[in-house]
Structure 1
Amino acid sequence: MTQGIHGTVAAGFEPVREEFAAFVAGELPDYEGQLCAYVHGRRVVDLWAGEGCEPDSLYGVFSSTKGAAHLVVALLVQEGTLEPDRKVTYYWPEFGAEGKGGVTLRDLLSHRAGLVGLDAGFTPAEMADDRAMAERLADQRPFWRPGTAFGYHALVIGALTGEVVRRATGRTLQEVWEERIRAPHGLDFHLGLPEELEPRYRSVQPMAPTPDQQAVLDSVPTGPHTLASIAFNTHVPGAGELADYPNSRAVRAGGPASAGGVAAARGLAGMYAAAISEVNERPPLLKPDTIAEVGQIHSTGYDLVSRTHKSFGLGFQAVSDTWYPFLGAGSFGHSGAGGSQAFADPRSGLAYGYTRRRCAYPGGAAPENERLVRAVHGAALADAESA
């Protein structure tokens, strides 16, 4: 066992353990995190490190939750229950207020609806309740003409698409996730954490940014009325820090589908493995045409909220454009503000999941993911060549 590192890797994936160990050696004693990967449905990396970290420890994964939410949507699209090019009002008539009547489900999933938050903001109780958020968002005027641009619907997209799921199926998105994906596949990824699993939750810890990272943060426009402050609900007095969001029991219990999920790395990677591969003799959740559609880029370029270049597929981030250009075209997944990362690369059969306890700066996937993803992907390609 490499010092400070626990777990196993399959033959040929030893370079991944070495890369993880090299990173952790520079981070201890404060580091705590997990790394897991599957290739064609076979778990090939299962590593963890840090005092108190176990393979079944659960972490707040922030926006990596959107991957679970939109896997539910993809499954319902595949079955014909939802149709991406139908107007949202077909499922949810009240949504059409204030000029939103022409918004399609595809617009919503690709962050083109312009409905990133509320002028008046949300209360902490509402932020833990997708249905409460959706009810208020239905009456909000969009912040740009829908379809003309895109911007990250950071804290609301799960409530919006979740309400469409509820209207179409009579079940909440969280219930569909639990009944059709999480429980059958035994995934340690919870949109609504049962009380009995609370002892496994590891409270998210903030981390001060380095001087270079602080310079990045300082370059982002702030203020009480910016699009970014509305999207992240920071224009509301007493809204609290984003880092504390999953530390609320109300959030963990409700499992809001934008950012309220808790998971182990095994759960993150296992979800994407189940999406694209046969796992434990269960067929893939998604068919090839569905995999191609959710991974196809729908919005790319200047994101009005983050003021950076981003690319989105159908509810997912376009991972090979947004994060790791060496991955196969059509890779799809989602990162989280605390540093988590999770995705599927259908071309290589890779499914990847990473968690950490301390928040990363300046946000989104922690920087170490680049070296870890590169190591896992390289080992997966070498394994395929030797087969």
Structure 2
Amino acid sequence: MNSIVNARLKQIKPSPSMAAKIVVDELRREGREIADFTLGEPDMNTPAHIARAGQEAIARGDIRYTSPNGTPGLRKAIIAYLAGSLGAQYGLDQIAVGAGAKQIIGAALTASLEAGDEVIVPAPFWVSYPDMVLLAEGKPVIVQCPESQQFKLTPASLEAAITPRTRWLILNSPSNPSGAVYSQAEMRGLTEVLLRHPQVWILSDEIYAPFCYSGEPFASPVQVEPQLQSRTLVVNGMSKAYAMTGWRVGYGAGPVELIKAMNTVISQSTSCASAISQAAAQAALEGDQSSVGEMVALFKQRRDLIVRRLNEIPGISCATPDGAFYVYANVGGLIGRHGPAGEIKNDLDASLFFLREAGVAVIDGGSYGLSPYVRFSFATSTQTIEQGMDRLAAAVGKLMAG
């Protein structure tokens, strides 16, 4: 029998972070105690005033379809937020609202790519970028950004990757998985290259923008080079900064033609984001922002703790990330060692060793396009970090002594 699944989808892998969550849940059902560092999901509740706005929307009966591009109230709140945070001006027809930032990115790629169009994706990358490009019939062009470059794209490597078929550059700062943050000067170097290539659009994924720890201001391409606003899609959402992962609200801000096309894609897929969630999102953007600052301060403490603990473990080294809530730990010192399940040949083997022998769940660097690393999310409690690092240190100590 011929397969019902098309060839394009057969290229696509399930999300590694979601796959890891399934494994962790299965192990816990079997009675294993697992220190889970896989999901990039704040471990606190949605702030009370935001949750209350969702409840009030239900009580008012605001439970109907909205327009595909979101409620006017939420779009106005997004416009005000972007004006304040980026100094960029947008109109109501330049905002798209979707069921999470992931839908916004997918809608943009679906709306803009022709078969074979190239999309530059710096590695390490968020696991979904290349597969989303493939789903839209594009060609991901992976550019390696090694630790020696602080996991950042350089102007020279960007210039070398651009061809006449290049349609988009995807930038993610602060980065998942590395926590790399582009400074104003570094972003200026990239924008100078992009100004010379008017066919290249910029998809700036800024979902982790509040999570910057170095004291330097966040740098967006539309801030650094306003001329590029006419071909930049700024992507953001509510999941990370407001602990609203399950509410599923993301947004994009960009040129009218692109936003109109994206709204068509959204209208023919999910119709619109949840009206209840949009009411909560509006309250999040318009209300008290102190919870965001408190979360950032807490995550900085956790970052310092996990970096220190990882660097104390033989065979593992870990640079201090300037943003987001991940560390991208180098496990090259473990490659070639022999554990109970055999030789550790790569970072996937290392991640499996961590899980089996220490009950510590992480995601291998191969899933993010750059080895030999594993990603730890520190969006979890201090207790979990301490317990996980204790168990990991014990397991790796035995490995290195073997």
TM-score range, shorter chain: under 0.3
The TM-score, its normalising length taken from structure 1, stands at 0.24
Structure with bigger helix share is 2
The TM-score, its normalising length taken from structure 2, stands at 0.23
User: Greater Rg, structure 1 or structure 2?
Assistant: 2
